Amino acid sequence: MRPRSPQTALLQPRRSGPVRGRYFNTGRGPTLQPVDIGHRDYIGLVDPDTAFWALVRKERLGGVLTDGPFLRAYRKKAAAFAAEMDTLRFGLRPSAVYFNPTDRCNLNCTYCYIPATMRRGGVHMSSDRLIGALAILRDHFAATLPRRAKPQIIFHGAEPLLNREAIFAGIDRYRKDFRFGIQTNGTLLDDGAIEFLTSRGVSIGLSLDAEVERAASRTRKTWGGGGVYHKVVRALERLRGYPDYSVICTVTRENVRRLPRIVDFFHGLEIPTCMLNPLRCTRQGARGIKPGDREMSRYYRQALDRTEELYRRTGRKLVVANFANALIAILAPQARRLMCDISPCGGGRSFFAVSARGDMFPCSEFIGLEEFNGGNLFRDGIADVLNGDVFRKVTERDVDDIDSCSRCAIRHFCGSPCPAEAHEMNGGMRRIGAFCEFYEDQTRYALRLIADGREGSFLWNDWDAQTTTSFQWETASLKAGQ
């Protein structure tokens, strides 16, 4: 990975010379861009390079920018914030693997990124080979991560439970070495599988796109076109009370208007965490059901507001993890848990994906795109693959180099996802992805919540357990923090 970063140097206060950085936006002073967050009383101020933010009462903006104390306080911290952002963007090492134990899937979802030929007739990894692969990964992480760190293996799909015997053998063999998770379509999650996974503390992710069968079956269906709604809901009912499970709802044109009803349904099932993910448009099949950005934003915000109402009424949260992550990206950038909204994204940088043949890709989203196959786990050194030309195409995609994003004040809250989408849909890594206006709206909404002190309703209770406050400034006219 390439060394960085120009910003760190730029923000170092100079001890001598003609320019001391006393003023904002000129000389060596901090860059603070006003951002319209759509709030009646507050306007945002963002340093796009460090992701530092402040919310200022509109009538006090001029005073805040020209009065000394606030700018002086920020100037003292700016170099440290730039260094933190630098580490987050360029200094991480992979600590997780999305592991596909099979190419095959029993479903044929409209938006799947894995080619149909692979899902129908691809390979299963044998138990011996899977155990061998986990041994290779264990040894790699033992050499690259701090001693107490426990890397994560997420069995992913295609449908991992089609190769249940192999993954269960791997989990039992390496429980001490890894934290395990599984992302499944839920159709094969019977009592035996649930007992095995929950008794071993495996985190479980399922997929469900609507609160009623007819709508859910439009996008997630069997090869024969049948729905799987009842099977998935039964699995969700069996998981009630287990602390570590979640549901992904992929948002398409088919279900976008239902989002508020979907969160009602999930909350009623006592699901602790869900994701309302705008569908990735990497594959042609997905692009035909892409919701418009404006429509997506409108119903997404309504759904989030609804989770807050439900929390107020019942005292029980349904955390929308992708939005919680967007909030955390603002409040404490280093504490974010998902890595699509930082640039370069987490693909190949904080995790990578392994296919059923052992081929390594920067992220599952690239499985099926042969030009992003970086090498084979059984044949090539992991470090060589991570640093090789193929992975670097993704790990060096930098929002600062993307025309439409490089001047965007919120680029380090958004990250300009997704490289796979940009490459396949818009023709190159230096192109924008599919949902710019939606991401813009999401950040503005998040800043409005913070201005109103409402953000706690949308976050996990323990989200800040391992964070420390490095900047706090709260007066009648201004709020800022990190």
Position 378: which residue type?
F
347 is a site residue for ligand SF4 (CB under 6 A):
yes
Q: How far is the CB of 276 from ligand SF4 (least distance, A)?
A: 15
Examine residue 436 and tell whether it contacts ligand SF4 (CB under 6 A).
yes
Please identify, among the stretches 100-108, 110-118, 326-334, 342-350, the one whose residues bind ligand SF4 according to the rule CB under 6 A.
342-350
Shortest reach from residue 341's CB to ligand SF4, in Å: 8
321 binds ligand SF4 (CB under 6 A): no
Helix (H, G, I), strand (E, B) or coil at 246: strand
Q: Does 439 bind ligand SF4 (CB under 6 A)?
A: yes
Least distance CB 36 / ligand SF4 (angstroms): 13
Q: What's the min distance (Å) between Cβ of 346 and ligand SF4?
A: 5
- Is residue 5 reached through a cis peptide bond, with omega within 30 degrees of 0 on the bond before it? yes
- What's the closest the beta carbon of residue 250 comes to ligand SF4, in angstroms? 12
Which sign, positive or negative, has the C-alpha torsion 270, 274, 276, 282? Answer: negative
When the beta carbons of 398 and 440 are compared against ligand SF4, the nearer one is 440
| Burial (CB count <10 Å: 0-12, 13-18, 19+), residue 315 | exposed
Q: How far is CA 353 from CA 42, 130, 253, 385, 480, in A?
A: 42, 14, 28, 12, 37
Element (H, E) at 170: helix 164-174
Per-residue x/- mask for ligand SF4, residues 387 to 426, rule CB under 6 A?
A: ------------x----xx--x-xx--x-xxxxx------
Q: Which is nearer to ligand SF4, 187 or 246 (CB)?
A: 246
DSSP letters spanning 79-99: HHHHHHHHHHHHS----EEEE
- 408 or 480: whose CB is closer to ligand SF4? 408
CA distance 350 to 1: 12
Amino acid at 89: R
Q: Which stretches of 185-340 are DSSP H helices?
A: 191-199, 213-219, 229-239, 259-268, 284-287, 293-314, 321-331
Radius of gyration from C-alpha coordinates of the chain: 23
Q: Are strands 478-481 and 52-57 parallel, antiparallel or unpaired?
A: antiparallel
| Binder among 96, 105, 432, 451 for ligand SF4 (CB under 6 A) | 432
Least distance from ligand SF4 to the Cβ atom of residue 363, Å: 3
* Interface with ligand SF4 (CB under 6 A), residue from 365, 398, 424, 455: 365
Q: Which stretch binds ligand SF4 (CB under 6 A): 31-39, 76-84, 262-270, 434-442?
A: 434-442
Footprint on this chain of ligand SF4 (rule: CB under 6 A): 339-340, 345-347, 363, 365, 399, 404-405, 408, 410-411, 414, 416-420, 432, 436, 439-440
